[in-house]
Amino acid sequence: MPFTGPPLRLLPQDALSSGKVQEGFYTRIWTLTRPLMASDLVAVEKYAPLVRHLGAEEQGSLPPSTHTYRRDTVSPYAMSHLAECYPHPCLFPGIRRLDWRVVMRAFSPTGVVGQHSWEDMLVYVGPELRELCINDGAWTPPTDYTLAALAELLDTVGKQFIQELQLGLPDRWKPWARPVDGQPLLFSSLTTIEIAVASALSYISFARSVSLPQVKSATLCLTPYPSATQLDDLFSAIGQQFSPDRLVQLRITSLVPDPSVDVTLRPIVLSSHLRSLLPFRRMQQITIDADWECGYDDDDVLGEMAEAWPGLQRMLLVARGDLHARSYARSHSPSRATLRSLIPFATCCKDLKFLGIWLHADIRADHEAIEAAIAQASPNRPSPPLEILKVMDSTIEGPPERIAHFLSTLFPSLPIILANGADEHVERWREVEKLLPAARVRHR
């Protein structure tokens, strides 16, 4: 049974009142008109145990530009009074998903969070809770009090059997006081986490304070851009927070491009940063889809990644947005990675379906390595079922038919090559894609 409104709506109507504020957001604040009695809680006790999902209800079919939600919120006094009167320790013992991003937080027209809103939230937490969503707007403004209360909340929730967490981190996030032994907070059951909005510094502090040893899937969305000097600590924090024996999916993105930052000054993900991820030997999907440069030094680091992650299914290293200035520059300045970097992915990653990297394809310069790879290829050799090779704004030189022959040797089932950047290179990659079927026929 889903439930998108506050529990006060289960109380007798004569005990309730609601007011509407901020018309554009369809917000209603529910409060009590009188003290509660035991008889007022009959419906709550009957239906609350059936609730499985508390969260936001989308308000109609509205265009994206006017996308709004119905916010049913509860005054701090009403929530605390209900908790005091309720005869059971848990209001929703069967709840499995709690979305605190929109509807359940205490609210006032000034935007200031009620003093006891985090304590109130604990009333909603039950032993069956598996998914929790909290965004950074839930503690606006981020005062020392609200951050400390959030830390206490996570401490409590961390002791539950929660499996999925979506969390936004405010810029002022900082480590909270830990026990004398100094051990980080442990989420021992969490398997999926999405850091929806975070600065690099707030995430680094979070990673140093919270251990996630069982997480298999992690998403990190950063805003604003991290500085170049923060990238070392950022990748170090990722390595510290997650277990190399458990993490199989990692996605790092930036929320929106920052036009105020010169493209030539944006951070560069270096080979050293990528190498810090090699201990995650069970990696199956990795995406670095941010408006950064991926400045790997040469083919070596890509080969090391292929060898370290034999179960890899999807890898994408891309400058998000492909801004015109960046794309133009990259299309006219070759990558240090070459066609040789593809060979380890063909020989080590037998489940690879999607590969996105920036390289320089020069069939003439790579002639000896390519010929050796073709000579070593056996017709009976198991090949990755690669479906898409995304080369972005990779430069390309030499006869397209020879590159198509090389690619079809490594990836016999490859049908699609995606390219962008300078028109001359895009056209050459399209020609290579058109030649793939004929190249496959010659291999048979």
> What is the tens place of the pLDDT at every residue in 76-120?
677 778 878 888 878 888 888 887 654 444 444 444 344 445 566
- Encode the chain in three state secondary structure: CEECCCHHHHCCHHHEEEEEECHHHCEEEEEECCCCCHHHHHHHHHHHHHCCEECCEECCCCCHHHCCEEEEEECHHHHHHHHHHCCCCCCCCCCCEEECCCCCCCCCCCCCCCCCHHHHHHHHCCCCCCEEEECHHHHCCCCHHHHHHHHHHHHHHCCCCCCEEEEECCCCCCCCCCCCCCCCEECCCCCEEEEEEECHHHHHHHHHHEEECCCCEEEEEECCCCCHHHHHHHHHHHHHHECCCCCCEEEEEECCCCCCCCHHHCCEEEHHHHHCCCCCCCCCEEEEEECCEEECCCHHHHHHHHHHCCCCCEEEEEECCCCHHHHHHHHCCCCCCEHHHHHHHHHHCCCCCEEECCCEEECCCCHHHHHHHHHHCCCCCCCCCCCEEEEECCEEECCHHHHHHHHHHHCCCCCEEEECCCHHHHHHHHHHHHHHHHHHHHHC
Q: How confident is the model at residue 226 (pLDDT cuts 50, 70, 90)?
A: confident
What's the pLDDT score for residue 371? 74
In a domain, 87, yes or no: no
What's the pLDDT score for residue 290? 66
With a pLDDT cut of 70, the percent of the chain lying above it is 67
Q: How confident is the model at residue 135 (pLDDT cuts 50, 70, 90)?
A: low
In a domain, 119, yes or no: no
Q: How confident is the model at residue 137 (pLDDT cuts 50, 70, 90)?
A: low
> What is the tens place of the pLDDT at every residue in 317-341?
875 444 444 444 444 467 788 898 8
In a domain, 426, yes or no: yes
In a domain, 321, yes or no: yes
Give me the number of domains the chain comprises: 1
In a domain, 425, yes or no: yes
In a domain, 12, yes or no: no
Range of the domain at 428: 308-444
Looking at every residue in the chain, the average pLDDT score rounds to 77
What's the pLDDT score for residue 420? 87
In a domain, 291, yes or no: no
In a domain, 351, yes or no: yes
Q: How confident is the model at residue 266 (pLDDT cuts 50, 70, 90)?
A: low
> What is the tens place of the pLDDT at every residue in 171-205?
665 555 454 456 777 888 889 999 987 888 888 88
What's the pLDDT score for residue 356? 94
